[in-house]
Structure 1
Amino acid sequence: MRDILSNILTPRRKNQLSSAIAKGLELSKVLALNVIAARTLQIEQYGLLNLIISIGAILGVIAEFRVQEIVVRKIASGADQSRVICEGLAVGLFFSTSVTLTVLISASFLADSFNWIHYATIYSLIHITSAAKIFKYALLANSKNFDIAISEIASAILLVAFLLFAIMQSFSISSYIYARVIDIGASSLVALALYNKRHKFNLQAPSLKKTVSLCVECFPLVISGALIIFLQRADHLMVSYLRGNQELGIYSAATTILTLFCVAPILLSQTNAPEIFKLRGTDDEIVAGRVAYLKENIRIGLTLSALLGILSGVLPSFLFGEDYADASSILAASFITPLIVSIGAASSQIIIADRKGSIIFYKSLLAIAINIAMNAALIPAYGGLGAAIATITALFITNILSNLVIPKYRYIWKIQIKALTPLNQRTP
C-alpha cells in the first residue's frame, strides 16, 4: 500500500495537492467573509463593499508592483534568495506606502463628496500588509506549498476569533476590511517563520541598482496587470454608476462565486510555473513541455466551466440567500470563463519565462476598449447580465485572440492551438 501511495503521490503531485489545499483554505476564508457580509449587510451596502474592493484591487496592482512573479522566476532559476526577497520586499513596501499616502491625501479632499473614500482609506492597509506575501511566493518557488498551507491554517484560526468578535459587535464594511488585513498579515508572518526555518533568510540592504532593475523588469507587468484588473473591475464600477449599488450587490454575488471557479487554473499555472522556467533542451522539446503544461491547465479549466454551468442555478441562493437569486442568470452566462482564464494564466507564465512582457499591456488595452464600449451599451438595458457578456468577450480577446493579432505573441497562439486540439491527445 505504501508503494502504491508513493507511486500515486509523486513529489510533484504532493506539491500540487498542498498548493490546492493552501489555495482552498485561502478561498474558503474569502468566501466565508463574503457570505457573512452578504447575509449581514443590506444588498446596497454589500454592493458598496464590492465597489471598495474593486477600487482597492486596481490600486493593489500598483501597490504590490507585480514583483511576486519575477521573484518566483529568479529563485527558481537559482538566484540568491535572500537578496531577491529583500529587493522585492523593498519595491513592494515603497509602492504600497506611496499608494496608501496618495489615498490618505485624496481622502482629505474628497471625504465630503464620496462615501466610499473613507473605506478606501482603511482598505489601503491591505496593500502594505500584502508586501509581506512575498515570503509565500518564495516558498512557492521552492515547491514548499505544504508550508503555505500551514500558514493559511494559522491565519484561519486568528480570523475566526476576530470574526466572532466582529459579529457580536455588529459586522460592518470596516469589519470585512480589518478581517482581510488580519488574514493576510498572519499568513505572511507564519510564511516568513517557515521560510526562515528552512532557508535561513538573511535581511540585507537591497542594492539600489538591482532594485531599480527589478522595477524596470516589473513595470510592463504592472501596466498589464493594472489594465487587466481594471478590465475585470470596470464592470463593477460601471454597474454601480449606471444601475446603482443595489444591482452591483447582485452582480457581485455572481462574480464572487465566479472567482472561486477561476482561481484553481490560475493556481495550477503558478504552482507549475517553476517547471516552465527550468525547461531545457531542443526547441521542439521546450515547445512540447509548454504544450503539456498548457494542456494540463486547460483540462482543469474545462472541468470547472462544466461544473459552473451545472451549479449556476443554485449557488447564489444557497450561499448568499434568496435575495441574490437573480445572480444565477449572470453566473450561467459566465460559465465559460474558467476555461478562458485557464488558457490565459498559463500563457502569461510562458511570456514571463521568455521575458517578453515589454508590450503585454497592448493586449489589455485592446480588451479594455472593447469592454468599456460593450458595458456602456449593455449595462443600461441588461444590468449585470450585460456586464457579464462584455467581460467574457474582453477576457477572450485578452487571453486568446490578441496573441494572433500581436506578432510578438503569435508563437503563444500556436502553443494554445496545439494544446486545444485535441484536448485528449497526450503530449510527449
Structure 2
Amino acid sequence: MIKIPAIKGFDEQAFQKYFKNTGWLMFGKLLSLIVGLIIARYLGPTGFGDLNFILALVAIMAAVGALGLDTFIIRELINEPNKQNEILGTSLGLRVIVNALLIPITVAFYLFFYDQVEVKATPLTLLVVLLSGASFFKSFNVIDAYFQSQVKSKYVVHVQNTVLLVAAALKIIVVSLGLSLFWIVLVLFIEGFILAIGLIAIYQKKGGNIYNWTFSWERGKGLLAKSFPLILSAVMVSIYMKIDQVMLMAVGREAVGIYSAAANLSEAWYFIPVAIVTSVFPAIIHARKTDLPRYKKRLGNLYDLLVLISLPVALFISFFAEDITMLVYGEKFPGVGIILSIHIWSGVFVFLGSASSQYLIAEGYTSISFYRTATGAIVNVVLNLWLIPLYGGVGASIATLVACAVTTFYLLILSKTREQGIMMLKSLFLISSIQKLKKH
C-alpha cells in the first residue's frame, strides 16, 4: 500500500484511510498498461491508430453519457442518505436513456467523419458500434459513486481488478492466436458488460437492493440542472484530451498510432490524481462546511502533494523518453520518444486541474468549470489546426500541453478564483513546499 508523504498540514491518520486501497488500484492500472503495450506492439502503428481513432471518437461521445453526475451523486448521498434508492435509481435511469441514444448518434458521427478522412482500408463501423455499446455499460458506474460516498471503494476496486484480469487474459489469447482488431474490440465490449454485472452484484451484497431503486423526474431535473455545466465541461475535457487522435487522422493512420503510443504511456498515471482527489473529496466537503481555514489548508496541501508526485516523473520521463520507448515498443513506432518527452508535461497540469476541479464543485462554480475547459478545448483545436500539418504528432503533443496549462490556470483570470490559481502556482514552483520545510 502507498504511504502518504509526511507533509505538514495533512491529518495523516484520516487521509491514510482514504488511500488504503490505492495499491490495488495501481495494480489494475499497471496491468492495463502492460496489456495495452502488448496490443500496441501486436497491431503496429496502423492497427493501433485505427483502434485509438475509434476510442477517441467514442470517448468524446461518452463524456455526454456520464451526464457529469458522479460528484453530485456522491454529494447528494452524503447530504440525503435516506434518499439513496431515489438518487441512485434516478441517476441510472438518466444515464441509460442518454447512453442508449448516443450509440446511433456516435455511429452517424463516425460515418460522417469516415467519409471526410477516407479511412477505407478497414471496415471500422462495426467496431464503433461495439465500443459505443461498451460505453453504454458505464451507466452502472453510479454504483461506484455510491461506494465512494461511503468511503468503501475497496469493493469496487476488487470487482474492477477481477474483471481486468479476465479481460487481460482474453486479450492475450487474442494476440496469441493472431486474431484481428475486431476480436480485441469484442473483448472490450465483453469487459464493459462483465463490469456492469459485477457492480450490480457487489451492490446487492454490500450496498442494498437495486430492485428498490426508484426514478423521480423531479430529482432528475434537479440533478441535470446542477450537472449540466459539468456535462459540457466533460465534453470539453474529452475534446482537448482526445481530439488529437481524431485530427491526426488527416495525416494518416500510422501517425495516429505513433501519437497514441506516446499518449498511452504519458497518460498511464493519470489515475493517481483521480484516485487521490476522489478519495479526499468527502473530507474536503466536510471541512468546507465546518472549518474554512482547514478547508483552504487541505486544498493547498493537496496541490503540493500532486506537484511533488508529478514533477519528478515528468523530469525523469523527459530525459529518458527515447530509451523508454525503444525498450517498450522497439523500432515499430519511430518518433514516439520526442512526442512522449513533450506530452508527459501535460500530466503536471492534469494533476493540478483534477484538484482544482473539486474546489470549483465544492464552491458551486460549475459554470466556471465549463468556461475553463471550453477555453482549453478551443486552444487545443486551434493549435492542432496550426501545428499538426507542420509537425504531425509532435505538434499535437505541444497543443495538448498548452491546452492543459491554459485550462488549469484559467482560475487566475477571475477575481473569486484567483486565490486558488495563486496557490497552484506556488505549489507548481515549489514555493509553498519550501516554506513548509523552512518551518520545520
TM-score by length of 2: 0.86
- 1:320 and 1:76 map into 2 onto residues whose CA distance is 46
Query: How do 1:1-400 and structure 2 match up within 5 A?
Result: 10=13, 12-22=15-25, 24-79=26-81, 80-104=83-107, 115=120, 116-167=124-175, 169-202=177-210, 203-241=212-250, 243-279=251-287, 280-400=289-409
C-alpha distance in 2, partners of 1:385/1:103? 28
Measure the CA separation in 2 of the matches of 1:138 and 1:387: 37
Q: 1:196 and 1:10 mapped to 2: Cα distance?
A: 30
Aligned partner of residue 42 in structure 1, secondary structure:
helix
- Cα deviation for residue 357 of structure 1 reads 0.4
Q: Distance in 1 between matches of 2:307 and 2:259?
A: 26
TM-superposed deviation, 1:362: 1.5
Deviation string for 1:384-403 (max 9, x for gaps)?
Answer: 11111111011100011x11
Match in the other structure for 1:3: none
TM-score when normalising by structure 1:
0.89
Measured after TM superposition, the shift of residue 182 of structure 1 is: 2.7
Change (3 A) 1:121 1:59: same
Q: Output one character per residue of 1:109-167: Cα deviation in whole Å (capped at 9) or x when no partner.
A: 88887654332122111121111122122222222232123112321332144225433
Corresponding residue number in structure 1 for 2:8: none
2:360–2:368 Cα contact (<8 Å) kept = no
Q: Does the aligned pair in 1 maintain the 2:39–2:175 contact within 8 Å?
A: no
CA contact (8 A) 2:87 2:219 kept: no
The 3-state SS of whatever aligns with 1:322 is: coil
- Deviation for aligned residue 1:313: 2.2
For the Cα contact (< 8 Å) 1:261–1:304, is it kept in 2? no
CA distance in 2, matches of 1:136, 1:13: 20
> Given the superposition, is the C-alpha separation of residues 331 and 42 from structure 1 closer, same or farther in structure 2, using an over 3 Å criterion?
closer
Q: Is the CA contact 2:18–2:280 (under 8 Å) kept in the aligned structure 1? A: no
Distance across 1 between alignment mates of 2:299 and 2:419:
11
2:19 & 2:64 partners in 1: Cα distance?
Answer: 29
- The Cα offsets for residues 47-98 of structure 1, whole Å up to 9 and x where unpaired, read as 1111101101100101222221211222244533332221211111111101
Count of residue correspondences: 418
What is residue 422 of structure 1 aligned with on the other side?
432
Cα RMSD, aligned residues only: 2.7
| CA distance in structure 2 between the partners assigned to 1:215 and 1:336 by the alignment | 34
Q: Relative to structure 1, is the Cα distance of residues 108 and 356 closer, same or farther in structure 2, using a 3 angstrom cutoff? A: closer
Are the counterparts in 1 of residues 88 and 213 from structure 2 also a CA contact under 8 Å?
Answer: no
Letter aligned with residue 218 of structure 2: K
> Matches of 2:435 and 2:14 in 1, distance apart?
24
Q: Mean alpha-carbon deviation: is it higher for 391-400 or for 318-327?
A: 318-327
Distance 1:98 1:29, change over 3 A: farther
Judging changes above 3 Å, is the alpha-carbon distance between structure 1 residues 270 and 171 closer, same or farther for their aligned structure 2 residues? farther
Q: Distance in 2 between matches of 1:172 and 1:253?
A: 19
Task: Name the SS of the counterpart of 1:360 in structure 2.
Answer: helix
CA contact 1:50–1:249 (8 Å) conserved in 2: yes
Amino acid at match of 1:87: T
Identity %: 20
Contact 1:297–1:343, Cα closer than 8 Å, also in 2: yes
Unpaired runs of 5+ in structure 2?
1-10
| Structure 2 CA distance for partners of 1:367 and 1:164, relative to 1, 3 Å | closer
Give the distance between the partners of 2:40 and 2:50, measured in 1 at CA: 11
- 2:420 alignment counterpart: 412
Q: Aligned partners of 1:422, 1:110: CA distance in 2, in Å?
A: 47
Change (3 A) 1:310 1:72: farther
Change (3 A) 1:384 1:359: same
Task: Determine the structure 1 residue equivalent to 2:7.
Answer: none
Contact 1:25–1:152 (Cα < 8 Å) also in 2: no
Contact 1:110 1:117 in 2 (8 A): no
**How far apart, in 1, do the equivalents of 2:12 and 2:197 lie?**
29
- Per-residue displacement from partner, 1:182-229 (whole Å, max 9, x unpaired)? 333333433333333233234322111101211121110010110111
CA contact (8 A) 2:230 2:366 kept: yes
Structure 1 unpaired stretches of 5+:
1-7
Which amino acid is the alignment partner of residue 350 of structure 1? Y
